[in-house]
Chains A and B, each alone.
Chain A
Amino acid sequence: DGGITQSPKYLFRKEGQNVTLSCEQNLNHDAMYWYRQDPGQGLRLIYYSQIVNDFQKGDIAEGYSVSREKKESFPLTVTSAQKNPTAFYLCASSPSREKGIGGELFFGEGSRLTVL
């Protein structure tokens, strides 16, 4: 089945450590996104990528980094510079650019990061 796979589902980190969250899609979508979800704040955009080897900062990119070396993959690294990293992280993708920008987002099941 086509979809988006995020791993790990749960992750614990000690302060000062970098961690990388995986996001893989087999939907042949051009665009991919990372959002952070905190209670009462909805989803906030961290980074997004419209095409391979290109990505843009969202509204809360500080302390995070991404890469887009393959169409299928968009990993997110939470660095030690992120002061409050405990959150639920959601990866998403949207259909190819040939279909226009009206395509809805398809989400993974999320990764919950807890800093100990």
Chain B
Amino acid sequence: AQSVAQPEDQVNVAEGNPLTVKCTYSVSGNPYLFWYVQYPNRGLQFLLKYITGDNLVKGSYGFEAEFNKSQTSFHLKKPSALVSDSALYFCAVRDGSTGGFKTIFGAGTRLFVKA
């Protein structure tokens, strides 16, 4: 079975500082990993994904994520946080070996960036 864990309910960071939002996953086959962002009362927006290849993935709005197979992690990072980055962030996983489309999400991490 697939599962995703986001161990932090909330992350607080000062504007201009680097940020990290943590994600670990569990799948029986090859992991397809995704990060999404949600603003209040809106749908989710795609940020970036790892399917195969380079472990460091770059995405929208200056975000990046590093796939670590041995630690089964896919942490989201940004070198310099902006106040406008404040939002709810979701990590998601799909089992690439099953040939299906089932996507499972973590519980979400709320990011607060203080000016």
Contacts and interface: CB of A to CB of B under 8 A. Distances in A.
Contact of B105 (A43, A101, A106): A43
A2 interface: no
Interface stretch (A11-19, A65-73, A107-115): A107-115
A43 B107 CA distance: 7
A94 B9 contact: no
B108 A101 contact: no
Interface of A: 4, 31, 33, 35, 40-45, 48, 50, 56, 58-59, 88, 90, 92, 94, 101-102, 104-110, 112
7 contacts: A45-B102, A45-B103, A88-B41, A101-B94, A104-B49, A106-B46, A107-B44
Interface of B: 6, 9, 32, 34, 36, 41-46, 49, 51, 90, 92, 94, 96, 99-108
